[in-house]
C-alpha cells in the first residue's frame, strides 16, 4: 500500500448544482489530503488533450461542450491508494448503476452528467496532474499531519 496522488475534476454540473462542498467533504472524511485545488474555466485545447482517448466516439463533441460550459474545480488528492479510493467513492460512471452512498449514486443524474472525473490509474493520474497543475501549485503534506489517519511500519505507510 502506497501514498498516491490522483486528479479529480468536479465538473460543471456539480459546480452549478452547488455540490462542491459535499463532494470535497467525502474525500476529506475518507482521509485523503487536498494537496492542490483551483477553480477555473477550462480552455478548449486542454480539454481536448485531456479527453483525447475519446476522440472519434459519438459523445466526444458533447463531452467537450459540457466541460467548457462552466467552471470546474481541479484538485490533486493524496493518500493511501488514492486512485482506487477515489474511484470507489465516486461509484460507476452511470449514475443509475451507482450505489447509494457513492457520490454518483447520491447525486448523479446520468452517464453524461456524472459530477466528477477521476484518474483511472497511477499513470493517468500523473499525466493528468501534469496537464492541469504546475509543480509549484502542489503542496506537500507533512508526515506528522497523517499520524491520526495512517500508521508507518519500517518507514512505509500502511
- Its domain, for residue 72, covers 3-133
CB 4 within 8 A of CB 79: yes
Predicted confidence at residue 27, as pLDDT, reads: 98
Active site residue 117: yes
Predicted confidence at residue 145, as pLDDT, reads: 61
86: in domain: yes
Predicted confidence at residue 111, as pLDDT, reads: 87
Beta bridge partners of 157: 152
Predicted confidence at residue 112, as pLDDT, reads: 85
CA distance 45 to 12: 17
156: in domain: no
pTM assigned to the model: 0.89
CATH of the domain at 27: 3.30.70.141
pLDDT tens string 54-85? 999 999 999 999 999 999 999 999 999 999 99
149: in domain: no
138: in domain: no
Out of 50, 54, 117, 142, which one is annotated catalytic? 117
**Residues of the chain with confidence (pLDDT) below 50:** none
Give whole-number Cα distances, 154 to 80, 139, 157, in Å: 16, 25, 8
Domains: count for the chain:
1
Cα torsion 39, 42, 46, 50 to 10°: value is 70
26: in domain: yes
Predicted confidence at residue 115, as pLDDT, reads: 97
Amino acid at each position: 500500500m502506497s501514498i498516491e496522488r490522483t486528479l479529480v475534476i468536479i465538473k460543471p454540473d456539480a459546480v452549478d448544482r452547488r455540490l462542491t462542498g459535499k463532494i470535497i467533504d467525502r474525500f476529506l472524511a475518507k482521509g485523503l489530503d487536498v494537496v492542490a485545488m483551483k477553480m477555473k474555466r477550462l480552455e478548449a485545447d486542454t480539454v481536448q488533450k485531456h479527453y483525447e482517448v475519446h476522440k472519434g466516439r459519438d459523445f466526444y463533441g458533447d463531452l467537450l461542450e459540457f466541460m467548457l460550459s462552466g467552471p470546474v474545480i481541479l484538485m490533486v488528492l493524496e493518500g493511501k491508494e488514492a486512485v482506487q479510493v477515489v474511484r470507489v467513492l465516486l461509484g460507476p460512471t452511470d449514475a443509475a448503476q451507482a450505489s447509494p452512498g457513492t457520490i454518483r449514486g447520491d447525486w448523479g443524474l446520468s452517464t453524461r452528467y456524472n459530477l466528477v472525473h477521476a484518474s483511472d490509474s497511477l499513470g493517468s493520474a500523473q499525466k493528468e496532474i501534469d496537464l492541469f497543475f504546475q509543480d509549484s501549485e502542489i503542496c506537500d503534506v507533512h508526515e506528522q499531519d497523517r499520524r491520526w489517519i495512517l500508521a508507518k511500519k519500517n518507514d512505509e505507510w500502511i
